[in-house]
Amino acid sequence: MRAVAVKVLLATILVVIAWSAVAVYRERAALNEPVDVSQAHFTGSQACVDCHADRHESWYATFHRTMTQEATPDSVQGRFDGQPLDYWGLRMRPVSEDGRYYFEYSEIDTGEVVDRREIVRTVGSHRYQQYMTYVPETGNYVRLHYLWHNGDQRWVHMNAAFLGPDEQDYSAQVSVWNQNCIFCHNTGPEPRMTNYDDLVRRARAGEAVDIRTESLFESRVAELGISCETCHGPGSLHVERAGSFLTRTAMRLNGGRDAAIVNPEGLAAEQSTQVCGQCHGQRLPKTNDMVREWIHAGPTFRAGQNLNDHVQPVWKHTPAPAQADENLFSLRFWADGTPRLSAYEYQGLLQSACYRDAELTCIDCHTVHGGDPVGQISDRNRGNQPCLRCHQDFRPESALVAHTRHPADSEGSRCYNCHMPDAVYGVMDIHRTHRIESPDAVRDAAAGRPNACLNCHLEATPKWVAAQLDQDPDAVVRLDGADAGLSEAAALLAGDPVQKAIIGYRAGQPGAQTGIERAWLVPYLLQSMADKYPSSRRFARDSLRQILSDFPDAAAAQPLLWKLDQFDFIAPVEQRMQTLDALHELWRSLDKSAWPTPAPATAVSAEYTLDETVRLALLELGGRQDKQISIGE
């Protein structure tokens, strides 16, 4: 009897095992069947923790997570200490009371308080942080007038954050979060504009409509910030499946794969790149009908789908929307169509042979789940390794040196520096272009673009680069109108605001040169600090500080550094010029008799002053009407 019971038990166990194996097999097969991801909904990142604790932890450390946050003592980075900020004709005091934050506005002369806005949300946490208030009458979250800059540890008026001149209205950069920021700075955004049809009807009837001030919203998001489901798709179906022990077992046997959730590493190159391109590539809804859907229910694209079915990437010749400046998009690209603002990385990559011919994707270099959160690049990928995966001919040091004409361990032999040079402005910083290509002196000068060689050799000329690259120096014509036989620093005065910002930044990057070897740049930087664009003044000031800090005679440079610390790049012009005049006088008083003579192409004398004729000619070029531009982000 006992033996029979044992046999029955064993048979039962075998049946259960067999049934379980069949069930797991079926579940595994089901995991690989195509799923309509549009039928899934967002669950929030917290639903991922139980099964993906390590991935959740690595994501949690990123700046993606903190892109949008409620304003709390844990999230607010700005110094709300009540100190007055007097810029653009009005006083603002950032104050905190009982764990809440406010911007308080008053007249400078009378001290009369004219407005007080509570800060309810923040945008950004890396380079700088912006602040939003909520307007219950409209349902709008409004980005206010000041940001906190983490690098400079100071408040900066939003007018100085973008590429605009001094002549701006105090509220020129105030904007509605629901109309713009919501789309890429959050997960599962739904703007839910309530009066879209009414505004369209009025506009078609010929009425003047201001969408910035008249739009009404009842916006919501699945999650503030950029979380798991932005890159992996809405997770409800996956979470539901993972609730079953059998399905979880099948997932493990299936290598973690589940068609109900997207892993960008498992996608084809085009679709993998599009996961990042949905935000890192400015775009418009593909059709007019989609515009209405976007402004109500949000973007229709989900990770794993074909982005081209949902959007049109913005390019240089993309027509601007009705009632917008006709140059709204064109100014965001160099003359040859290469992006020159951040958030166009996707367009740059699409223009690259590495993408078109070798299927290079974003995650070949970047990773959300590893490496430094700054740039999300691993230490390994900061060197030449990503490029050498394909370009293996340059693995031997001798071949690399023959190719770059620079020592193997120098900046000149870093693939990025030549093929992805600094050529992009964004978030008050300069970034690498994501259009991967080789330097070309003739092409870059004609397009007004920074040239990779001249980014380091600012004392050199476009003609010199052409000769080094076996091109015809006489074929070089600069778009900004400057003499191609002048040093690249000429763009600091003759260029448009993007050129000025990039060259101003590059002037402070030392490379292999010491402070004295870069001292010829000081007359250019001092002149740039008198520019009408705050962005130009700030980069020039920072680079001047870098050069002076690297002087071998620290005692001689110290009075200049002290005075430079008093230069506020957004102060009233009279205050700025007073400080600048003092800097000029201190510079003239330095003993430069033992310094090297500047190269003739710099137009800087042995006394380290800029030739007056050249200075005036370059300033005239920089004052051309086509260079008086204003570019937001």
Domain ranges of the chain: 68-214, 439-627
CB-count exposure of residue 166 (10 Å: 0-12, 13-18, 19+): middle
For 288-315, what is the mean pLDDT? 95
For 359-376, what is the mean pLDDT? 91
Out of 20-24, 110-114, 454-458, 520-524, which region has the weakest mean confidence (pLDDT)? 20-24
17 pLDDT more than 60: no
Gap between the Cα atoms of 446 and 451, Å rounded: 11
15 pLDDT more than 90: no
> 272 versus 252: which is more confidently predicted?
272
For 294-311, what is the mean pLDDT? 96
225 pLDDT more than 90: yes
Q: Say what percent of the chain tops pLDDT 70.
A: 95
Query: Is residue 414 a contact partner of residue 384, using CB atoms and an 8 Å limit?
Result: yes
Q: What is the mean pLDDT of the chain?
A: 93
Take residue 404 and report the two structure tokens written for it. 């770059």
25 pLDDT more than 80: no
Determine the distance from the C-alpha atom of residue 604 to the mean position of all C-alpha atoms in its chain, rounded to a whole number: 35
Amino acid 5: pLDDT: 63
- 506: nearest Cα among 491, 484, 516: 491
Amino acid 1: pLDDT: 62
288 pLDDT more than 90: no
16 pLDDT more than 80: no
For 482-499, what is the mean pLDDT? 97
For 3-29, what is the mean pLDDT? 58
Amino acid 242: pLDDT: 84
For 54-67, what is the mean pLDDT? 96
Amino acid 35: pLDDT: 80
- 131: nearest Cα among 80, 62, 166: 80
Long-range contacts of 478-481 (CB under 8 A, 24+ apart): 478/445, 478/446, 478/448, 479/335, 479/445, 479/446, 479/447, 479/448, 480/448, 480/621, 480/622, 480/627, 481/621, 481/624
Q: pLDDT tier at 36 (50, 70, 90 boundaries)? A: confident
Gap between the Cα atoms of 611 and 597, Å rounded: 14
Q: Cα–Cα distances in Å, from 388 out to 265, 270, 350, 365, 395?
A: 20, 21, 20, 12, 6
Q: pLDDT tier at 13 (50, 70, 90 boundaries)? A: low
Q: What is the DSSP letter of 279?
A: T
- 351: nearest Cα among 420, 445, 299: 420
Out of 63-77, 151-165, 312-326, which region has the weakest mean confidence (pLDDT)? 312-326
For 132-154, what is the mean pLDDT? 97
Amino acid 425: pLDDT: 98
Amino acid 22: pLDDT: 57
Gap between the Cα atoms of 633 and 342, Å rounded: 8
14 pLDDT more than 60: no
Amino acid 34: pLDDT: 80
